[in-house]
């Protein structure tokens, strides 16, 4: 009855019977009609369970940085009341309450989240192994929990952004974000499509003695493909340990590392490796440490990651 009464009042306002601003009333009527049409909304999450949203979430807690970045990109940043200790983008997250994640087992503070009374906790499939019990406690406390699926490709990221946009009644904004990402990536790909050489790239996620790289099914490999370069580990799958001798033997033209935040002057450290001095990338000083966040977080900033890689691989084209 309250909704019906509210709708009648809005109609009367739009007719000018209460003497208020007609344009404002129209906007309010459209907004209310839109909300009533969308909710209640039922949608399956990564656990294959139907999650019901009775109304638009007004207070959201994000349990992974990529979810946070998506929320801000579609204009929902002002609804975010809690993030993890690992969140560092955009700068607004610095002033948002932290709900954990930086402890030994990377778990979040269940009690704190419950006390904050969120309308929605946006979790992620990648952390289900360590957070399943905590998420169950949140559900038992009456909190709506939605687990975002893992994204193994940029197309999966598009789907995630659109899904979060649907949940939060920001479908237009999420479509805009996805379309802008597609346009930018298309432009980068077209810019590199006619280059005569296809540089061989070595991607290093961690250094000796246990060297890890990125193969098929990772964003880094897909980014290399988008710019028409060649990944040394293109025949591997996922994040894999790679033999150092094999990496040297491949003789890459460019070396990209992603762990400079943990090793000071990493580019110089790699350049000084004794056994690598015959490698083209070392001889030509083509060693670059790239931003791990923009090349691994499944969110809108993956485009920035592709741009950074393109500039490193084709400095003569991307000046």
Residue with tokens 């791990």: 292
Q: How confident is the model at residue 32 (pLDDT cuts 50, 70, 90)?
A: very low
Q: Considering the chain, what percentage of its residues have pLDDT values greater than 90?
A: 83
Q: How confident is the model at residue 36 (pLDDT cuts 50, 70, 90)?
A: low
Has residue 26 got a pLDDT over 80? Answer: no
Mean pLDDT value of segment 163-176: 98
C-alpha to C-alpha distance for 193 and 179, rounded to whole angstroms: 21
pLDDT in tens, 244-280: 999 999 999 999 999 999 999 999 999 999 999 999 9
C-alpha to C-alpha distance for 171 and 233, rounded to whole angstroms: 37
Has residue 282 got a pLDDT over 50? Answer: yes
pLDDT confidence of residue 104: 62
pLDDT confidence of residue 215: 96
Has residue 30 got a pLDDT over 80? Answer: no
Domain 194-313, CATH class in plain words: alpha beta
Has residue 112 got a pLDDT over 60? Answer: yes
pLDDT confidence of residue 5: 36
pLDDT confidence of residue 29: 46
Least confident of 37-41, 59-63, 117-121, 307-311: 37-41
Helix 171-193 / helix 219-226 crossing angle, nearest 10 deg = 50
pLDDT in tens, 285-296: 999 999 999 999
Q: How confident is the model at residue 3 (pLDDT cuts 50, 70, 90)?
A: very low
What's this model's pTM, rounded to 2 decimal places? Answer: 0.86
Mean pLDDT value of segment 26-39: 56
Has residue 219 got a pLDDT over 60? Answer: yes
pLDDT confidence of residue 105: 66
Q: How far is CA 294 from CA 89, 149, 278, in A?
A: 10, 19, 30
62 phi, psi to nearest 5 deg = -105, 130
241, HSE (Cβ side, Cα atoms, 13 Å): 3
What does the mean pLDDT of the chain come to?
89
pLDDT in tens, 185-206: 999 999 999 898 899 999 999 9
pLDDT confidence of residue 154: 96
Has residue 23 got a pLDDT over 70? Answer: no
pLDDT confidence of residue 38: 86
C-alpha to C-alpha distance for 30 and 43, rounded to whole angstroms: 24
Q: Considering the chain, what percentage of its residues have pLDDT values greater than 70?
A: 88
If one looks up domain 41-177 in CATH, what number appears?
3.40.50.1980
Q: For the chain, how big is the Rg over CA atoms in Å? A: 24
145, HSE (Cβ side, Cα atoms, 13 Å): 26
Residue with tokens 């003695």: 209
pLDDT in tens, 234-246: 999 999 999 999 9
Q: How far is CA 5 from CA 9, 30, 55, 101, in A?
A: 6, 16, 18, 45
């Amino acid at each position: 009855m309250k909704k019906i009464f509210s709708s009648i009042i809005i109609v009367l306002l739009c007719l000018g019977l209460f003497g208020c601003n007609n344009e404002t009333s129209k906007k309010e009527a459209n907004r209310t009609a839109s909300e009533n049409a969308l909710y209640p909304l039922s949608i399956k999450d990564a656990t294959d369970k139907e999650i019901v949203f009775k109304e638009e979430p007004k207070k959201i807690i994000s349990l992974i940085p990529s979810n946070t970045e998506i929320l801000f990109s579609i204009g929902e940043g002002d609804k975010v009341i809690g993030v993890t200790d690992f969140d560092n983008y955009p700068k607004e997250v610095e002033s948002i309450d932290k709900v954990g994640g930086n402890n030994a087992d990377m778990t979040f503070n269940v009690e704190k989240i419950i006390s904050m009374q969120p309308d929605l906790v946006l979790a992620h499939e990648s952390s289900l192994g360590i957070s399943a019990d905590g998420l169950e406690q949140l559900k038992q406390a009456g909190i709506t929990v939605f687990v975002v699926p893992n994204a193994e490709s940029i197309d999966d990221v598009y789907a995630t952004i659109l899904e979060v946009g649907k949940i939060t009644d920001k479908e237009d904004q999420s479509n805009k974000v996805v379309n802008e990402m597609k346009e930018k990536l298309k432009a980068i790909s077209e810019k590199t499509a006619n280059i005569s050489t296809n540089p061989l790239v070595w991607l290093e996620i961690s250094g000796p003695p246990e060297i890890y790289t990125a193969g098929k099914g990772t964003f880094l490999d897909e980014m290399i493909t988008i710019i028409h370069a060649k990944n040394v580990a293109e025949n591997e799958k996922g994040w894999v340990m790679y033999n150092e001798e094999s990496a040297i033997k491949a003789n890459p033209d460019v070396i990209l590392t992603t762990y400079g935040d943990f090793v000071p002057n990493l580019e110089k450290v790699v350049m000084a490796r004794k056994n690598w001095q015959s490698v083209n990338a070392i001889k030509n000083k083509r060693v670059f440490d790239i931003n791990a966040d923009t090349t691994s977080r499944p969110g809108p900033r993956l485009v920035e990651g592709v741009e950074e890689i393109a500039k490193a691989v084709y400095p003569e084209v991307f000046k």
